[in-house]
């Protein structure tokens, strides 16, 4: 979508949402609920401010809903499950119409969502599915399996695995095991890469064996932390890459891990343009796009979080007004109690020479910000 078109689309979306919604407060605070009337309140629970994407996600959705005349309560929970539960309880006490929840632990919200259901509050799971609860009405996300598949296919193509090239030394990583997305990302990538591990074209010197359903958890990084990924990569290099053995490729599920992995590799003397491995990523975080420009990361899977916010704002509006809520997937996301109707958006691979066309021309970043 061109920048102009996007801007117009956003304005049109806000205008169409605003046209029929009753406007309540317009106090401009984003970290607490705004205004006296709660009749039009939408609660937005985000996991953490420590990752760039969630700041963008929260601000964009909050802005859209406010422009459309809704009152909002936008809360960040510092990646602490109990804090997120308390925030949701406080929101429910204010009688909101809808809760939009990007969960920290997708299995921990059952009891608080029971309270939401009793108070007749609808729930949209934002980006991450909430498991084990019947009280999740909708789910909006990017196609998480496809994110991983794109990472796997990128590695396959870059290394020439289809042409029989190899063997290459691979180090796999996965996301936080309490995040339902992490399994989808890993499975998408592993479905592409596993045959090459089995045929010996991809070798895992650290000996991480990922054969069965839940084995991906052996390479998962709790809380998606850069520092933990860095320490894990340090350990693997120290223990298994002796005698001149080199890491050729790292499957990293997202940018926060990729950042830590890159730091580890640099500290161990790997040099871009010489022996630096392929590293994958996801989110197009600013630091990582800069790393791609500097040849310290090979790709990122970009999820234009503005489109997710747009979609969720439309869902909220349809719920409040009793309209039809648009979904495009009613099969994939079984949360253990029910299949949650979902809207899946398409993720997009970005490599170095596409940064301008995809990230700058769409208005996601200014050239200035990227130092281009």
Q: Rounded to an integer, what distance in angstroms lies between the CA atom of residue 17 and that of residue 204?
A: 51
By CB under 6 A, name the one of 283, 304, 310, 317 that touches ligand BGC.
283
Nearer to ligand BGC, 184 or 196 (CB): 184
Nearer to ligand BGC, 48 or 71 (CB): 48
Nearer to ligand BGC, 187 or 248 (CB): 187
What does the longest C-alpha to C-alpha distance in the chain come to? 69
By CB under 6 A, name the one of 171, 179, 304, 310 that touches ligand BGC.
179
Count interface residues toward ligand BGC (CB under 6 A): 11
45 and 27 in contact (C-beta within 8 Å)?
Answer: no
Counting contacts by CB under 6 A, is residue 73 touching ligand BGC? no
- Two tokens, residue 348: 């997009």
By CB under 6 A, name the one of 131, 226, 282, 311 that touches ligand BGC.
282
Counting contacts by CB under 6 A, is residue 67 touching ligand BGC? no
Counting contacts by CB under 6 A, is residue 51 touching ligand BGC? yes
Nearer to ligand BGC, 187 or 254 (CB): 254
Counting contacts by CB under 6 A, is residue 127 touching ligand BGC? yes
For 362, residues 6+ apart whose C-beta sits below 8 A from its C-beta are 1, 2, 3, 6, 304
Q: Which of residues 220-279 bind ligand BGC (CB under 6 A)?
A: 224, 254, 256
Measured from each CB, the residue nearest to ligand BGC is: 254
The span from the first CA to the last CA of the chain, in angstroms, equals: 21
Counting contacts by CB under 6 A, is residue 304 touching ligand BGC? no
Nearer to ligand BGC, 53 or 236 (CB): 53
Nearest distance, CB of residue 179 and ligand BGC, angstroms? 5
* Residue showing tokens 């969960």: 103
Where does this chain bind ligand BGC (CB under 6 A)?
51, 53, 127-128, 179, 181, 224, 254, 256, 282-283
């Amino acid at each position: 979508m061109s920048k102009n078109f996007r801007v117009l689309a956003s304005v049109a979306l806000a205008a169409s949402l605003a046209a029929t919604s009753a406007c309540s407060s317009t106090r401009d605070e984003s970290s607490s609920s705004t205004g006296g009337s709660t009749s039009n309140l939408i609660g937005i629970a985000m996991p953490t401010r420590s990752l760039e994407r969630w700041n963008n996600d929260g601000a964009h959705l909050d802005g859209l809903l406010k422009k459309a005349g809704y009152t909002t309560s936008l809360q960040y929970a510092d990646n602490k499950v109990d804090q997120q539960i308390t925030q949701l309880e406080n929101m429910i006490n204010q009688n909101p119409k809808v809760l939009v929840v990007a969960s920290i632990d997708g299995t921990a919200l059952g009891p608080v969502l029971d309270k939401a259901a009793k108070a007749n509050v609808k729930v949209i799971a934002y980006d991450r599915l909430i498991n084990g609860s019947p009280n999740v009405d909708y789910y909006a996300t990017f196609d998480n399996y496809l994110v991983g598949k794109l990472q796997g296919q990128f590695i396959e193509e870059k290394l020439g695995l289809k042409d029989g090239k190899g063997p290459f030394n691979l180090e796999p990583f996965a996301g936080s095991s309490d995040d339902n997305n992490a399994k989808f990302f890993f499975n998408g990538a592993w479905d592409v890469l596993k045959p090459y591990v089995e045929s010996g074209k991809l070798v895992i010197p650290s000996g991480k064996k990922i054969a069965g359903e839940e084995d991906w958890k052996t390479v998962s990084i709790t809380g998606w932390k850069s520092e933990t990924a860095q320490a894990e990569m340090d350990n693997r290099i120290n223990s298994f890459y002796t005698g001149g053995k080199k890491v050729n490729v790292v499957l990293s599920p997202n940018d926060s891990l990729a950042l830590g992995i890159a730091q580890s590799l640099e500290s161990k003397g790997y040099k871009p343009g010489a022996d630096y491995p392929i590293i994958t990523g996801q989110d197009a975080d600013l630091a990582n796009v800069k790393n791609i420009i500097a040849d310290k990361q090979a790709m990122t899977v970009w999820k234009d979080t503005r489109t997710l916010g747009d979609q969720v704002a439309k869902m909220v509006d349809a719920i409040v007004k009793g309209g039809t809520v648009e979904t495009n997937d009613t099969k994939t996301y079984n949360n253990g109690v029910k299949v949650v109707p979902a809207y899946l958006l398409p993720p997009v691979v970005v490599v170095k020479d596409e940064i301008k066309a995809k990230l700058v021309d769409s208005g996601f970043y200014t050239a200035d910000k990227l130092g281009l």
